[in-house]
Amino acid sequence: MSTSKQIEAAYHLARQRYAEWGVHTDTALRTLARVAISMHCWQGDDVGGFESAGGALGDGLAVTGNYPGKARTPDELRADFEKAISLIPGRHRFNLHASYAEMGRRKVGRDALGVAQFRNWIAWAKALKIGLDFNPTFFSHPKVDRGMTLTHPNKGIRQFWIEHGLRCREIGAAIGRSLGQPCLNNLWIPDGMKDTPADRRSPRERLVESLDAIYARKMSPRHNVDSVEPKLFGIGAESYTPGSHEFYLGYAVSRGTLLTLDAGHYHPTEGIADKISSVLGFLPEIALHVSRGVRWDSDHVVTLTDELEAIAQEIVWGGYLDRVRIGLDYFDASINRVAAWVIGTRNMLKALLLALLAPASQFRQAENHGDYTTRLALMEDAKALPWGAVWDYYCHTRDVPVGHAWLAQVKQYDKDVLSKRH
């Protein structure tokens, strides 16, 4: 492993190289330090949650793998997450789902949840000085009938889920109030059809009505911020999804909610990077579920791909860091779950750092002059700049392991804690 001296010396050289391109590495690191990534609770326990009544996953979601040691209780999940964030530079957020309610002795249904079931989570977040985000859970529940919730033809079923949505917004507002920072409340429903529908219109009309009922109550954006998440298709809902991209884009623009772009929710060659500046022309803010689609699965661990770099470039080069709430959404049960959090989050940060370090103003100058040859040449050469030395230095100065030194700590945790869970 590198010594402090080596890390600092490498950084010093890198800083000079970047300065030659007109890029200030210290400024880039200061900007990066202000970015909070919303880390999803559900990587820690395969989207299981802690309600005893909860059904098996499904409803368009699937987790594969059986790596031992998944969190079985809220305390275990909290401990695992604390381990993960001790290995990631910066201060990040925790993204909860309603199904992670802590019932105590009094069990309540999803249509009766309140802040009482989330008190421990709030106290924990306060102690860690991190923000919390929230999601109503419209899956893994007996009231998901024939794969439908808010679009169901039966009014009683719709009403149950509307009630859940309302409760979750109240919980979000209570979280935001207690923590003194807004809670992002993201709504995704699994509703869809496996085969060709005879009526695409009615479920969408019912969805508008249901959503309007959920969002009727105005809430201070200082406490709770609402967002809606489109999807192209899910497992078992391949032919029709009422909550499509166009549907929710229209909804968000007309109703003033945010829109959540999930990287795994589009056609395989359709990235979300290009959508960012398009939708931000009409929405004040958006949220992201950064993920990685692989064939039928939309939720592989985030790796440092071209697509991830493109997302980070659009956020940073577009000047949108304060208008995009970056969250992660993936679940892999085939590897150590703490490592999955660390790898994905560190990759998101690396991609943001790469974008912050890129000599984008030089690329743009060439572009504005119509000199596309220079644009291409500079973009390609800039890829060889020594960003790794800057990343190492960042980890070093934030007191987290440099390079893959974090892995030894996860392995130790696996041995001491995870492997003992049976």
Residues annotated as catalytic are 188, 229, 231, 262, 265, 289, 297, 299, 329
Identity at 302, one-letter amino acid code: V
| Count of helix runs (H) and strand runs (E) in the chain | 14, 10
Say if CB 95 and CB 40 are below 8 A apart.
Answer: yes
Between 45 and 309, name the residue whose CB sits nearer to ligand RNT.
Answer: 45
Residue 59 touches Zn ion, criterion: CB under 5 A = no
Q: How far is 402 from 153, CA to CA, in rounded Å?
A: 54
Cβ 103 vs Cβ 52: under 8 Å? yes
Which of Zn ion, ligand RNT, none sits in contact with 309, Cβ below 5 to 8 A by type?
none
Task: Annotate each residue in 285-304 with x if it binds ligand RNT (CB under 6 A) or - if it does not, as one string.
Answer: ----x--------x------
The single-letter DSSP state of residue 169 is H
What DSSP string runs through 116-135?
A: GGGHHHHHHHHHHT--EEEE
| Choice between 47 and 349, CB closer to ligand RNT | 47
Residue 344's nearest CA partner among 48, 85, 6, 63 is 85
Do 32 and 394 meet the contact criterion of CB atoms below 8 Å apart? yes
Q: Exposed (0-12), middle (13-18) or buried (19+): which is 124, by Cβ within 10 Å?
A: middle
Verify binding: residue 50, ligand RNT, rule CB under 6 A: no
Q: What's the full length of the chain, in residues?
A: 422
Select the binding partner of residue 42 from ligand RNT, Zn ion, none (C-beta < 5 to 8 A, by kind). Answer: ligand RNT
Asked if residue 231 binds ligand RNT (CB under 6 A), the reply is yes
Binding of residue 46 to ligand RNT (CB under 6 A): no
Footprint of ligand RNT on 379-418 (CB under 6 A): none
CA distance linking residue 411 with residue 336, whole number of Å: 9
Mask 319-338, x = binds Zn ion (CB under 5 A)? ----------x---------
| 47 is a site residue for ligand RNT (CB under 6 A) | yes
**204: partner contacted, choices ligand RNT, Zn ion, none (Cβ within 5-8 A by kind):** none
> Should residue 42 be labelled a site residue for ligand RNT when binding is judged by CB under 6 A?
yes
Q: Which residues bind Zn ion (CB under 5 A)?
A: 262, 289, 329
Q: Which residues bind ligand RNT (CB under 6 A)?
A: 42, 47, 61, 135, 188, 229, 231, 262, 289, 298, 329
